[in-house]
Every structure is written in C-alpha cells, then in structure tokens.
C-alpha cells in the first residue's frame, strides 16, 4: 500500500520538485512568489500552500548564480508554543526567527566567509555563526520556543535587532555579497485563532518591504486579520490557491498529484477504475490532501470501496475536524457549531433536493449557495471558518443574486454533496460535470430565519487567552492528531499519551522505542511533531 506524504513539512527538500504538478494555475502562483511584488497566497488546509512556497524556493536557488535572488523560507509553525512574560513576545520571536533563518540560509549557500558587522547584528552579536557554535539569536529563539515548558518566563530579547536595523544590515549585506534581493517565504504565517499575532505579523510584513526585500506569505481564507496598518490590495497581491472542478482537465491534473507518489499496485487500480477515481477526485474539490487521504482508504478503488470512503470521510471525518475547532477556543464554539448545523441540516439537504429537481429539468446540477453581503457578521465568520476547514469554498465575491442583491457565492465541497447519495459512484460524475453556478443557486438573504439562533447566542471573542488555551491543548490525548492510525498506536504503546509527551520526546527516545534506524526514527518524529504543531496552530 502506498505510504503517502500528506504534508510538505514531511517532505525532503530534494523531493519537492518531483512531487510538484506544474499546472497553469500553480505555475502562476509560483512565478508570483518568485517575483518582486509582495504576494499572499490564500487557501484552505491541505490545498498545497506550503508546497508552492518550497517550489518557489527551490527554483530561485537553482538560478541564484545567475539571478542573485536568494529565497529564505521561514516557517512560523512554532508560534503556538510561545508563552513568556514579554508584552511583545510574538514580534520579538518573529524577528529572531527571521534573522536566524537568514543567517542559516547565507551560511548554507556558502555566502558567509568572513566576519562582518551586518552578520554580527543579525546573529545577535559575536562571530559564532562562523565557528559552528549557536549564535545568541539562536539561543533567544530556543528560549521562546521552549517557553511552553515554563510558562511566563523572562526571555532576554536584547540580541534581537529591530526592523530598521535589520533592513540596514540586509542592504549592506546584499551590496557586499552581490545579492540582488532577498525573498522571504513565510509559511504558517497567519493562524486562524491568533488574530493579534496576525496583525503583528502583517505590520512587520509591511515594514520589511524595501528594494532589497520581498515578503510573501501563505494564509487561510477569510480568517486572517490584517490589521489597520496593512491593506491587502495595496500592500501585496492576493492570489487564491484554486483547482477549478469545472475545468475539462481537472481529473487528469488531480491524478498526476496521486501518481507522483503511487506505487505500481495503486497505479494499476487507478487505470482499471478510472471513473471511480474520478469520483474521488471531484469529491476532494481541488484539495490534494483530502484526495490522498481518501485514495489511501479506498484500497482497490472498487465502487464499494469508494462509496464507503466517501460516506465515511465526508459524513464524519471532515466534520469531526471542523468541530474540533470548537474544543480549542470557546469563543468560536457558537460559530463552529452553527456553521456545521447550517450546512449539514439546511444547505446540503436543499442542494440534494434541487439536484433531484434539476435532473428532471435540463441536467444541470449545483453545489452552490449565496449569502447576502449585509447578513450578520457572525454568519460570515461562521462560513469563513468552514472555508478554513475545506467544507466550503468561496466561489465569488460581490455576486448578484435575486433582485440584483449583492453577496458572496460559496461551493460546498462536492464530497459532502456526494455523501448524501445512496451510491456516490453512480451519480458523482453526473453531479460534477453538470455544475452550474447560477442554475439552482440557493439564496440566503440579509435576514434569513436560519441566522436567528446564531445571532442570539454569538459573543464576539476572537482574542482568546492563548496561555490557558495552549495548556489545555498540551494535555490532550494524541488521538486528536491527524496521523495514521498505526503511528498513533505505536506512539501510545511506547508511552506517548499526550501532545506534550510528543513535544518533549527526543530523537533517541523515538529511536529506542521503535527499534529502527536513524532515518525511520526521524521520519516518525517529524510526522508526529508536525501534526502537533499544526493542531496547536489551528
């Protein structure tokens, strides 16, 4: 059975380009990330934002000798672990992280050969970056990222330069090293439940911009707080990570994503059951991670296998992942619960009825609904959280509906639509190929009665107590993690019961537990740690 890699974080750098499917849409995004204009790519969990960043990094590095444009990939996945007494702890950690990654990148690419005032400033002082010892900036960074073990500790942030000093140092470095500019690629930059961190990040994003620095970032749809000082349209180009299910070659492109990792047995099964695979491809609605997960469960891709997987994953798993958001931060509970009830009990039921009527009409089908732009703010927030989870996909802003009213159009993930059918493999392709964004569109106006329950119970609380929320999540069992069942079982058998246990584990402990070599133990540790960080960040 193929052992799929679901997360780019688990992917060795030398395999990034081999798994990338160079479609026109994704090529446009990668080229934008390599360009001079600051770019923000927006997409739900699992659509491949991290892979696009890493592909842009690899391609810039491949042409660095010629173009002298140096990419610096910066992951913010550990931001959820910060718990110090500093008022500005996230900004300080963020600047330390940026400086650390820049110095490491310069050193790795053979650009650090002699001491300089600029490198000394970026590394926190001294010449340890040449001697192989950890420079002060690394020690500060580690202190921040281990602060969850000792809440509210005092971290000495003196070695961290401010933004203006950093820009001056970068300008001097680029001139002395013959570097045209730096391209920062910020991954996990704006977490769904950290609005204050998001605003601070985009302030730094804007302030870093200069002739020598281009900043790019990956964020989630609708749930990102840019703040008052950052204007998304003026300060950056926003591009959506989309794979349009109505494109004629959609299934072929999704098949390439699977075949890049498939073994011979799976490749044969895909060829023998092309239509069944097509149903799964449409069910994933452009999300590679969902497709890989469902294909891995469908075994031989028979009709029975595919039907069982669609009913199980899109009736249970995808909703369980969305509902889990409510257990992390109580301020979002009403939004999460109402959004699920609204789509499951109202939208999907009506979509099913309309598709049955449309079948007897002209063969057109629908998975679309529309929300009035003046609907209560809580309604829009709930739908945006559904977009983060991948249950719905925004399909257009400022769309006219009945009587010329303006609102936003959304598509419900086709897998959720298929799952309500008695035999998804029988009707899935018909529904997918007959989609019309206009015919059968379900319209929810400004004062729809379905909103009342949410409006009455909603309290806007988007600034959670992150310290207590982090402590609560660290105590959770590892069953909540998005890991293969065999890996969760082995970890529990080895005594790793909670999320905190995983974070505290050393490579040696993992290695001695699994009685495997260095490569295998690092893979297990990496997969578990990445799942923990993704869970903690939202």
Confidence (pLDDT) at 417: 97
Q: What is the domain-level CATH number for residue 195?
A: 3.40.50
Give the model's confidence band at 330: pLDDT under 50 very low, under 70 low, under 90 confident, else very high: low
Residue 414 lies in a domain: yes
First to last CA, the chain: 30
Q: Does residue 224 sit in the same domain as residue 205?
A: yes
Reported as a single tens digit per residue, the pLDDT across 409-419 is 999 999 999 99
Residue 120 lies in a domain: yes
Vertex 523 angle, CA 518 and 528, to 5°: 130
Give the model's confidence band at 333: pLDDT under 50 very low, under 70 low, under 90 confident, else very high: confident
Confidence (pLDDT) at 52: 95
Helical ranges in 209-317 per DSSP H: 232-235, 250-259, 264-272, 274-284, 288-297, 303-312
Assess whether pLDDT exceeds 90 at residue 299: no
Q: Does residue 140 sit in the same domain as residue 218?
A: yes
pTM: 0.85
**70 three-state secondary structure:** strand
Q: Does residue 309 sit in the same domain as residue 437?
A: yes
Residue 372 lies in a domain: yes
Residue 2 lies in a domain: no
Q: What is the domain-level CATH number for residue 504?
A: 1.10.150
Q: Does residue 258 sit in the same domain as residue 350?
A: yes
Q: How many CA atoms lie within 13 A of 104 on its CB side?
A: 12
Rounded to the nearest integer, the mean pLDDT of the chain is 85
Q: Does residue 214 sit in the same domain as residue 345?
A: no
d(CA 459, CA 286): 33
CB 186 within 8 A of CB 41: no
Reported as a single tens digit per residue, the pLDDT across 509-522 is 776 665 555 555 66
Sheet of strand 406-412: strand arrangement: 392-400, 406-412, 368-372, 442-444
Q: Which domain holds residue 512?
A: 475-537
- 278-307 core/surface letters (b: 16 or more CB in 10 A; e: else): bbbbbbbbbbbbbbbbbbbbbbebeeebbb
Q: What secondary structure does DSSP assign to 489-515, as a single string?
A: HHHHHTT--BHHHHHH--HHHHHHHHT
Q: Which of 10, 15, 155, 172 is nearest to 89 (CA)?
A: 155
Residue 462 lies in a domain: no
d(CA 480, CA 345): 25
Confidence (pLDDT) at 132: 64
More confident residue, 329 or 315: 315
Residue 465 lies in a domain: no
Cα R_g (the chain), whole angstroms: 24
**373 three-state secondary structure:** coil
Across residues 69-83, what is the average pLDDT?
Answer: 87
Q: Does residue 314 sit in the same domain as residue 218?
A: no
Q: Which distant-in-sequence residues (6+ apart) come within 8 Å of 100 by Cβ? A: 137, 138, 141
Domain tally, the chain: 3
d(CA 179, CA 36): 14
To the nearest 10°, the Cα dihedral for 318, 323, 325, 330? 170
Q: Does residue 265 sit in the same domain as residue 377?
A: yes
Select, from the ranges 86-90, 202-206, 396-400, the one with the highest average predicted confidence (pLDDT). Answer: 202-206
Residue 346 lies in a domain: yes
Q: Does residue 53 sit in the same domain as residue 128?
A: yes
- List Cα–Cα distances, 518 to 398, 523, 524, in angstroms: 54, 9, 10
Q: Does residue 414 sit in the same domain as residue 519?
A: no
Other CB atoms within 10 A of residue 397 CB: 10
Q: Does residue 256 sit in the same domain as residue 403?
A: yes
Q: What secondary structure does DSSP assign to 430-459, as a single string?
A: HHHHTB-SSTT-EEE-TT-GGGHHHHHH--
CB 410 within 8 A of CB 397: no
Q: Does residue 494 sit in the same domain as residue 388?
A: no
- Choose the final residue of a domain: 457, 492, 524: 457
CB 392 within 8 A of CB 410: yes
Q: Does residue 338 sit in the same domain as residue 204?
A: no
Work out the percent of the chain whose per-residue pLDDT is above 90.
48
Structure tokens at 225: 């707080």
Structure tokens at 247: 């494109």
Residue 245 lies in a domain: no
Structure tokens at 62: 């491949």
Helical ranges in 63-127 per DSSP H: 64-67, 89-108, 117-122
């Amino acid at each position: 059975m193929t052992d799929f890699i679901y997360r780019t974080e688990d992917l060795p750098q030398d395999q990034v380009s081999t798994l990338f499917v160079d479609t026109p849409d994704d090529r446009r995004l990668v080229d934008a990330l390599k360009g001079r204009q600051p770019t923000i790519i927006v997409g739900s969990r699992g659509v491949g934002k991290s892979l696009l960043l890493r592909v842009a990094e690899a391609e810039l590095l491949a042409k660095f000798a010629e173009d002298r444009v140096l990419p610096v990939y910066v992951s913010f996945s550990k931001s959820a672990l910060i718990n110090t007494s500093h008022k500005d702890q996230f900004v300080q950690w963020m600047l330390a992280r940026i400086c650390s990654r820049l110095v490491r990148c310069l050193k790795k690419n053979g650009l650090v050969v002699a001491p300089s005032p600029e490198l000394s400033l970026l590394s926190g002082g001294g010449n340890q970056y040449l001697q192989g010892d950890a420079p002060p900036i690394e020690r500060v960074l580690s202190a921040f990222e281990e602060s969850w073990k000792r809440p509210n500790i005092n971290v000495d942030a003196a070695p961290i330069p401010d933004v203006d000093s950093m820009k001056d140092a970068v300008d001097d470095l680029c001139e002395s090293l013959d570097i045209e500019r730096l391209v920062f690629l910020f991954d996990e930059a704006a977490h769904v439940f950290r609005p204050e961190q998001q605003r601070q990040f985009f302030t730094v994003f804007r302030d870093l911009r200069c002739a020598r620095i281009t900043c790019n970032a990956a964020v989630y749809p609708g749930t990102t707080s840019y703040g008052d000082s950052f204007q998304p349209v003026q300060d950056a180009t926003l591009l959506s990570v989309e794979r349009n299910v109505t494109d004629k070659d959609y299934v072929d492109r999704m098949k390439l994503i699977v075949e890049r990792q498939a073994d011979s047995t799976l490749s044969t099964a895909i060829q023998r059951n092309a239509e069944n695979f097509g149903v799964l491809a449409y069910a994933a609605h452009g999300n590679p991670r969902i497709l890989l997960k469902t294909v891995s469960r469908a075994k031989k891709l028979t009709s029975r296998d595919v039907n069982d997987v669609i009913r199980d994953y899109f009736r249970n798993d995808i909703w369980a992942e969305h509902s889990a958001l409510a257990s992390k931060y109580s301020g979002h509970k009403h939004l999460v619960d109402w959004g699920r009830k609204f789509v499951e009990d109202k939208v999907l039921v009506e979509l099913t009825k309309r598709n049955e009527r449309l079948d007897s009409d002209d063969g057109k089908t629908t998975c679309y609904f529309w929300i009035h732009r003046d609907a209560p703010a809580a309604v829009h927030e709930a739908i945006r959280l559904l977009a983060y989870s991948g249950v719905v996909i925004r399909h257009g802003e400022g769309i006219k509906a009945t009587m010329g009213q303006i609102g936003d159009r959304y598509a419900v993930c086709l897998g959720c639509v298929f799952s309500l059918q008695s035999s998804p493999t029988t009707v899935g392709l018909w529904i997918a190929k007959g989609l019309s964004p206009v015919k059968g569109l379900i319209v929810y106006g400004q004062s729809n009665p379905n909103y009342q329950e949410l409006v009455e119970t909603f309290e806007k609380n988007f600034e959670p107590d992150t310290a207590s929320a982090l402590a609560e999540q660290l105590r959770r069992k590892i069953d909540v993690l998005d890991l293969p069942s065999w890996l969760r079982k082995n970890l529990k058998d080895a005594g790793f019961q909670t999320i905190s246990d995983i974070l505290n584990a050393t490579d040696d402990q993992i290695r001695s537990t699994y009685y495997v070599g260095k490569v295998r133990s690092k893979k297990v540790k990496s997969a578990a740690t990445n799942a923990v960080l993704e869970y903690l960040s939202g």
